[in-house]
Amino acid sequence: MPGTVLLTGFEPFGGDPINPSWEVARQLDGCVLAGGQRVQALQLPCVFSTAWPMLRQAIEAGPAPSLVMALGLAASRTELCVERVALNWVDARIPDNAGEQPLDQPILPGAPLAWRSRLPVKAMVQAMQAVGAPAAVSYTAGTFVCNQLLFLLSDYLEQHPGLRGGFMHVPPFAHQAGQGGVPLGQQTRAVQAALEAALAQQHDAALVGGTLD
């Protein structure tokens, strides 16, 4: 029986009036994907101490979702990026929305240095490109709240092997970044395509997706 996809986005931070990650998630709230799963959107605070507890509570509130996908804004990027790696490290360049600014410390002391995504990240990128969106595999989720959320979600997934999840960074909208922005409609179609690819494929596509530097 088709289940739900829990799709999260963050509230605005860093002085921006909107956060594209939440605007995209909100557009997809209630959408029925190709496999029959219904999207449930959730806005998370851009706060180190509360983002993960809120997501975990949502995961455990009812039947386990078919997929958990968190979205976050990467203001300097021009592509939708599926994150391959979560680093066990936080080094906040700016304070979060609660004024917290942890520097140079592990997220979970004693945990592995990093967790690797088990989603078909290259197939997800291919699906987004197929609907006309700029997309790529990313090997760094930063050292701010986004990466912390991905690491804690990944650690949770290791303890709940029946659950699947991951993280995608989205770029600014066109009106936020001029020529480098990607419109809301294009981002929304791309994220829907990526979700459907993640649900449909257990194994990744054999495609070039690495970097030289």
Residue with tokens 């981002």: 187
Q: Is residue 205 part of a domain?
A: no
Q: Is residue 29 part of a domain?
A: yes
Q: Is residue 213 part of a domain?
A: no
Q: Is residue 210 part of a domain?
A: no
Eight-class DSSP state of 40: E
**Which of 23, 79, 146, 196 is flagged as catalytic?**
146
Contact status, residue 164 vs residue 157, Cβ threshold 8 Å: yes
How many independent structural domains does the chain possess? 1
pLDDT, tens digit (0-9, with 9 covering 90-100), for 84-128: 999 999 999 999 999 999 999 999 999 999 999 999 999 999 999
Give the global pTM: 0.93
Q: Is residue 206 part of a domain?
A: no
**Which of 23, 79, 81, 83 is flagged as catalytic?**
83
Q: Extract the tokens encoding 108.
A: 């979970």
Q: Is residue 208 part of a domain?
A: no
CB neighbours of 6 closer than 8 A, spacing ≥ 6? 40, 42, 55, 58, 59, 65, 67, 68, 69
Catalytic site includes residue 46: no
**Which of 46, 169, 175, 196 is flagged as catalytic?**
169
Domain that holds residue 167: 4-200
Share of the chain above pLDDT 90, in %: 85
Q: Is residue 186 part of a domain?
A: yes
- Residue 53 sits in a domain of what CATH number? 3.40.630.20
Considering the chain, what is the average pLDDT of its residues?
Answer: 93
Alpha carbon separation from 209 to 25, 26, 117, 204 (Å, rounded): 25, 29, 14, 11
Catalytic site includes residue 83: yes
pLDDT, tens digit (0-9, with 9 covering 90-100), for 129-172: 999 999 999 999 999 999 999 999 999 999 998 999 999 999 99
Q: Is residue 128 part of a domain?
A: yes
Q: Cβ of 113: how many Cβ atoms within 10 Å?
A: 9
Catalytic site includes residue 160: no
- What residue spans of the chain are helical by DSSP H? 20-28, 51-60, 121-130, 145-159, 174-177, 184-200
Contact status, residue 16 vs residue 74, Cβ threshold 8 Å: no
The span from the CA of 33 to the CA of 5, in Å, is 9
Residue with tokens 């994150």: 83
